[in-house]
Amino acid sequence: MTALVQFQDASADIVTGAFDLKPADNCPKAPSVQAFVVNAADVASEGGTDPVFGTVTWKTLISGEKTNTSEFVLGIAEFGPGGTLHPHVHAPAEFYFGLTGSGIVTIDGVAHEIVPGVAIYIPGNAEHGTVAGPDGLRFAYGFAEAAFGQIEYRFSARVA
């Protein structure tokens, strides 16, 4: 837009004139929801250090703490041979979707095999734990929650 502007220039003279105005480049921009791409190969692994969890590591791909999203959480869990995610509960329902390897997902005491192409539905507050097979295991997991960090994980057993 064009506006009549009066300002002091560098030599303190008063300048008056018609100028085209545009927002300065450093103006804060309104947040907008944008499409984006995340390659798991570029995402750092988390976990693997707390024996309460087990040996599992994970990569968070879509989650409100790190992406401008609020609808769902998507991540990948990765296990070495015989790797573990110890039994735990959380309030939201979750899905697993097997990518590579194999494992046993035990939900409320019932064992289910996960292999590539297998989806598992875990109801909210169901106790579930995973033990990977001899070739390890990778699965995608997801929640209809805004952010992974808002989901409270409660493990069934404490490790001394």
155 lines the binding site for a second copy (CB under 8 A): no
- Shortest CB 120 distance to a second copy, Å: 5
Bridge-partner residues for 59, per DSSP? 76
Which of 15, 91, 119, 159 is close enough to bind a second copy by CB under 8 A?
119
**Residue placing its CB nearer to a second copy in the complex, 62 or 131:** 62
121 lines the binding site for a second copy (CB under 8 A): yes
CA 34 to chain centroid, in Å, comes to: 16
42: left (phi over 0), alpha (psi -120 to 50) or beta: alpha
* DSSP secondary structure letter of residue 31: P
CA dist 57 and 44 (Å) reads 10
What is the separation, in whole angstroms, between the first and last Cα of the chain? 67
149 lines the binding site for a second copy (CB under 8 A): no
For a second copy, the binding residues in 21-80 under the rule CB under 8 A are 33-41, 61-62, 67, 69, 71-72, 74, 76
CA atoms within 13 A on the CB side of 6: 1
Which residues form the interface with a second copy (CB under 8 A)? Answer: 33-41, 61-62, 67, 69, 71-72, 74, 76, 92-93, 95, 97, 99, 107-108, 110, 112-115, 117-124, 126, 128, 140, 142-144
